[in-house]
Amino acid sequence: MKTAPASFVPRPARPGRGRRGMTILEVLIAAVLLTFVVLGALAAVSRALNLTNHARMLTLASQVLQSKVEDLRLKNYAQIAAYAAQTQPVDFTSGITENLLNSNFTSTMTMAATFTTTYASSATQVGLTSVVVTLSWTEGSSTYSRSSRTYFCEKGLSDYIYVGF
């Protein structure tokens, strides 16, 4: 019968030198590393929530702005010219609550429009008015805005150009 070489023979355990636990230093290092990982993850989640809220506000602002532009498109040129005769910009903030758009998200929104008569109506020329509707809101300590430009012609031609920030 063959015997195993001496290197493969298990040695008897020495007294007091069995399995060792972790030292307090190793535990502290592991705890500090775990703390950094958890804090980093929490910061990333917090930032992601802020970016999601900002994206939601951008989408909502665009929808409210588009709603106002479409509302102005339903008006005739005489009504647009009457707005142009008022002190500029014309405040449309109350339109947010009147059109059932009022919510916690729209509470900081303000909306105004600047009406500029590009060409005055005359016997040889139709009137043309440029309208820039601007919606502003605050998130925390920052203020953001969206704008949309549209043109109204006395004979019914109107087109708009969306302008982002």
**Residue 45 covered by a domain:** yes
**Residue 85 covered by a domain:** yes
**Residue 15 covered by a domain:** no
Under a CB-based contact definition with an 8 Å cutoff, are residues 155 and 80 in contact? Answer: no
Looking at residue 8, what DSSP letter applies? Answer: G
* Statement: residue 6 has pLDDT above 80: no
Mean pLDDT for 79-100 is 85
- In 3-state terms, what secondary structure has residue 109? coil
Cα-based torsion angle of the residue sequence 85, 89, 90, 94 in order, rounded to the nearest 10 degrees? 180
CA gap 27, 33 in Å, rounded: 10
**Residue 11 covered by a domain:** no
pLDDT tens digits along 128-163: 899 999 999 998 889 999 999 988 888 765 445 545
**Residue 7 covered by a domain:** no
For the chain, how big is the Rg over CA atoms in Å? 34
Please tell me the pTM assigned to this model: 0.67
CA gap 118, 153 in Å, rounded: 10
pLDDT at residue 165, as a whole number: 45
**Residue 1 covered by a domain:** no
pLDDT at residue 96, as a whole number: 79
**Residue 6 covered by a domain:** no
pLDDT tens digits along 28-76: 999 999 999 999 999 999 999 989 989 998 998 898 899 888 888 888 8
Total count of residues recorded for the chain: 165
Q: How many CB atoms lie within 10 A of CB 102?
A: 12
**Residue 81 covered by a domain:** yes
Q: Which domain holds residue 135?
A: 22-163
Within the chain, residue ranges assigned H as helices are 24-73, 77-85, 94-98
Q: How many structural domains does the chain have? A: 1
Under a CB-based contact definition with an 8 Å cutoff, are residues 110 and 93 in contact? Answer: yes
